[in-house]
């Protein structure tokens, strides 16, 4: 898959992209990321990319022409069928299901804004979708672009060590992840749940599913509602709730 990012801070992206899972995906050619600087498409000697907002108010707004120039140059390098996404705090909330969908697109253009934002005419006419990474305001779209690229890269075949890893993570099956443990078996008297060292793979699978269901019920009940449960899962969750209530009762005694 090929991704292009329009950004005034391409170095920030390039530096961050060289590490870990994404760095490996780029090295292996599973993913290609190219940056396009609107400044290279400014038409005046000062390479101006922003201007004061119509109607007054603080801050500067990114101008249409340099953004459009960078964005069209980027699209010319991406395969047909690629989609254009503007990253903005008021966009559709980015979720794992969107990362999964996007990982099957031939290419993706991400546009990172800065300052007070981007001239609305660019967003309306030169992008297909708007995505937000959460209900908070960042100084620029570079961190959101990195978040989106990272989430997509993990889903590309050949990026992670084991093909199963991405499926077993949070949201892979509509549930959050189960807890993980590694050696030593006991830390300050806190032991690893015995089932995990039992070698009984059926019991381990059952325990993990139960923990994932329980944690989703506790932390993200809306996910569970949206996903639904099988009869076996419902029984596991009931058992989780009973054990939790018993533990709370014992702690009170």
Q: Decide if residue 133 touches ligand SAM (CB under 6 A).
A: yes
Q: Which residue has the tokens 């990272």?
A: 150
State how far the Cα of 1 lies from the Cα of 31, in Å rounded to an integer. Answer: 5
CA 19 from centroid of its chain's CA atoms: 16
What tokens were used for 133? 């990474």
Q: Residue 156 half-sphere exposure, CB side, CA atoms within 13 Å?
A: 27
Q: Decide if residue 224 touches ligand SAM (CB under 6 A).
A: no
Segment lying near ligand SAM (by CB under 6 A), choices 35-43, 69-77, 112-120, 162-170: 112-120
Q: Decide if residue 85 touches ligand SAM (CB under 6 A).
A: no
What tokens were used for 239? 């058992």
Residues near 69 by beta carbon (within 8 Å), at least 6 away in sequence: 38, 40, 41, 42
- Of 32, 140, 172, 174, the one binding ligand SAM by CB under 6 A: 140
Q: Decide if residue 222 touches ligand SAM (CB under 6 A).
A: no
Residue number, 138 or 223, with CB nearest to ligand SAM: 138
- Of 16, 64, 138, 223, the one binding ligand SAM by CB under 6 A: 138
Query: Least distance from C-beta 175 to ligand SAM, angstroms?
Result: 25
Edge to edge, the sheet with strand 32-36 lists 32-36, 2-6, 107-112, 83-93, 129-132
State how far the Cα of 56 lies from the Cα of 157, in Å rounded to an integer. Answer: 49
Query: Least distance from C-beta 138 to ligand SAM, angstroms?
Result: 4
Q: Decide if residue 144 touches ligand SAM (CB under 6 A).
A: yes
Q: Decide if residue 116 touches ligand SAM (CB under 6 A).
A: yes
- Interacting positions 87-106 with ligand SAM (CB under 6 A): 87-90
Q: Please report, as ranges, the residues that interact with ligand SAM according to CB under 6 A.
A: 87-90, 112-114, 116-118, 132-134, 136-141, 144
């Amino acid at each position: 898959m090929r991704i292009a990012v329009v950004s005034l801070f391409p170095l920030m992206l390039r530096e961050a992209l060289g590490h870990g899972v994404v760095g490996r995906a780029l090295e292996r050619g599973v993913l290609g990321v190219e940056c396009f600087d609107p400044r290279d498409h400014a038409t005046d000697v000062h390479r101006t990319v922003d201007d004061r907002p119509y109607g007054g108010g603080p801050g500067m707004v990114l101008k249409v022409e340099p953004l459009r120039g960078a964005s069209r140059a980027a699209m010319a390098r991406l395969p047909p069928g690629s989609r254009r996404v503007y990253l903005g705090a008021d966009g559709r909330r980015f979720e794992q299901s969107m990362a999964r969908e996007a990982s099957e697109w031939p290419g993706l253009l991400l546009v990172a804004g800065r300052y007070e934002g981007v001239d609305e005419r660019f967003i309306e006419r030169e992008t297909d979708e708007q995505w937000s990474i959460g209900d908070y305001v960042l100084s620029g779209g570079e961190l959101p672009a990195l978040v989106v690229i990272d989430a997509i890269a993990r889903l590309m075949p050949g990026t992670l060590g084991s093909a199963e890893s991405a499926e077993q993570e949070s949201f892979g099956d509509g549930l959050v992840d189960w807890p993980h443990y590694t050696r030593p078996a006991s830390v300050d008297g806190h032991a690893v749940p015995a089932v995990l060292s039992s070698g009984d793979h059926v019991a381990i699978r059952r325990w993990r599913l139960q923990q994932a269901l329980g944690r989703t019920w506790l932390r993200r009940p809306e996910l569970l509602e949206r996903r639904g449960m099988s009869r076996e899962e419902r029984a596991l969750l009931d058992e989780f709730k009973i054990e939790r209530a018993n533990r709370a009762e014992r702690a009170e005694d």
